[in-house]
Amino acid sequence: MAEEHTIADGEERIFVAGQMQLMWWRFRKHRVAVAATFVVVAFYLVVLGADFLAYTNPNTTEAYRSLMPPQPVRFFDSGRFSPHVYAVAGKRDLKTFKRVYVADPDQKLPVRLFVRGYKYKLLGFIPTDRHLIGVEGATAAESLFLLGTDEKGRDVWSRMMVATRTSLTIGLVAVALSLVLGVLLGGISGFYGGPIDSAIQRLIEILRSIPTIPLWMGMAAAFPREWSVEQIYFAITIVIALRGWTGLAREVRGRFLSLREEDFVTAADLAGCSRKRIIFRHMIPSFQSHIIAAATLSVPAMILAETALSYLGLGLRPPAISWGVMLQQAQNVEAVALSPWLLISAVPVIVVTLAFNFMGDGLRDAADPYGV
């Protein structure tokens, strides 16, 4: 008898469950998507705390430390847990004229958490100089090179943290922009139909038929040289979003068109609902989850677009730091052969792209919890 009750209670829970609840139950079943979500969240935590995770000012150049290989962290010192790195001294090889670095095992520099370092503003407004890691008794800039340094002697780890911030926010801002454009134009197209619809559809077709790279090149070439990093950043998002909205607009238009024919929309019309109420109470809630899923799936494309642009030198330019800007240094074979660690910033590009795709897939599957 007691068992019967629990079954009935369980059912009642489903009967009164709203859309978000049902979506969550369904999403939860999709293991890979849940794991991917954790990865994405982790990446955005990096975005929030990029300076905190970095330990060296990413723009500090130092010719004496150029192209230093990644430095191993030693966790144990004579059987005791005491993470440390060896001090590194660099000198020029007189035969090859390359700088070579030698670690000195006698000079152990202990690695510590929450160490003071360069000054920055946490979350953009809390002035602080605490960093997650650092070394004791020396400045991090001179002694800690977890992922090595680049040609100009800038620390790759610290640069990557800051690059993550740039690349991931650029993706989000671009998606947000294309979402606004897409929902607006797609909505108008689908709701009004007729000549307006035809005009918008033709515009989308034209935009989609222009090859991406030349379009970007043309637009990037138009950016004045004297623009600041922020202005370029903004201009890039607009360039990316200008083409990105077309896919979302088509999605929105399709939803509008099919929803217009749904009986429950007709019923709302007959009940005397205003147009505004029909759109915002009935139509948009019916496809917002699909739009969220579609937007999620388009984030990696935006990130890749920025990376590609910057890699080609058409997007962000130093002193801005993004994954693409970092990869630009690994453009020639010599760099890749002699200092392969410069390619490390390709790893987060791949990981985040996959994670967004898996998460988007899960969201898309969960987006319509009423279908069978």
Partner 1 sequence: MENEQVLLEVKGLRKFFPIRKGFWQRAVGHVRAVDGIDFHVYKGETFGIVGESGCGKTTASRCIVRALQPTAGEIHFRVNDGEMTDVANLSRDELQPLRRHMQMIFQDPFSSLNPRMTLFDIIGEPLLVNGVADRRQRIERVEELLALVGLRPEFLQRFPHAFSGGQRQRIGIARALALNPSLIVADEPVSALDVSVQAQILNLLLELQERLGLTYLFVAHDLSVVKHICDRVAVMYVGRVVETAQTQQLFESPKHPYTEALLSAVPQPDPTLRSQRIILEGEVADPANPPSGCYFHPRCRYAVDLCREQTPELEEVEPGHAVSCHRALELDLAGTLDAPIPQTAHS
What minimum distance in Å lies between the beta carbon of 59 and partner 1? 50
- Residue 25 interacting with partner 1 (CB under 8 A): no
What minimum distance in Å lies between the beta carbon of 81 and partner 1? 55
H/E stretch holding 238 reads: helix 229-260
Binding mask 77-116 for partner 1 (x = CB under 8 A): ----------------------------------------
Q: Which residues, numbered 184-203, are part of the site for partner 1 (CB under 8 A)?
A: 198
- Alpha carbons 239 and 116: distance in angstroms, whole number: 39
Q: Which is nearer to partner 1, 90 or 254 (CB)?
A: 254
- Residue 292 interacting with partner 1 (CB under 8 A): no
Please answer whether residues 153 and 69 qualify as being in contact, where contact means their C-beta atoms are separated by less than 8 angstroms: no
Taking each continuous run of H as one helix and of E as one strand, the counts in the chain are: 15, 4
Sign of CA dihedral 98, 99, 102, 103: negative
What minimum distance in Å lies between the beta carbon of 273 and partner 1? 5
- Alpha carbons 77 and 370: distance in angstroms, whole number: 59
- Residue 7 interacting with partner 1 (CB under 8 A): no
Q: Which amino acid is at 114?
A: F
Residues with Cβ < 8 Å from 31, sequence gap 6 or more? none
H/E stretch holding 181 reads: helix 156-192
H/E stretch holding 107 reads: strand 99-122
What minimum distance in Å lies between the beta carbon of 259 and partner 1? 10
Give the bridge partners for 135, in sequence order: 111
Q: Which is nearer to partner 1, 286 or 328 (CB)?
A: 286
DSSP label of 239: H
- Residue 206 interacting with partner 1 (CB under 8 A): no
- Residue 270 interacting with partner 1 (CB under 8 A): yes
What minimum distance in Å lies between the beta carbon of 37 and partner 1? 23
- Residue 264 interacting with partner 1 (CB under 8 A): yes
Residue from 99, 152, 282, 317 in contact with partner 1 (CB under 8 A): 282
Binding region for partner 1 (CB under 8 A): 11, 14-19, 22, 198, 262-264, 266-275, 277, 282, 285-286, 370
